[in-house]
Amino acid sequence: ETGVTQTPRHLVMGMTNKKSLKCEQHLGHNAMYWYKQSAKKPLELMFVYSLEERVENNSVPSRFSPECPNSSHLFLHLHTLQPEDSALYLCASSLGLGRGYDNEQFFGPGTRLTVL
- CB environment 29-49: b (16+ within 10 A), e (fewer): bbbbbbbbeeeeeeeebbbbb
Q: Write down the least CB distance from residue 23 to other proteins, Å.
A: 11
* Closer of 66 and 108 to other proteins (Cβ): 108
Q: Write down the least CB distance from residue 34 to other proteins, Å.
A: 12
Residues that bind other proteins (CB under 8 A): 4, 6, 42-43, 88, 90, 92, 94, 97-99, 102-110, 112
Q: Write down the least CB distance from residue 28 to other proteins, Å.
A: 17
CA geometry: angle at 37 spanning 94 and 66, to 5°? 60
* Closer of 3 and 14 to other proteins (Cβ): 3
Instruction: Answer for the pair 7, 109: CB distance below 8 angstroms, yes or no.
Output: no
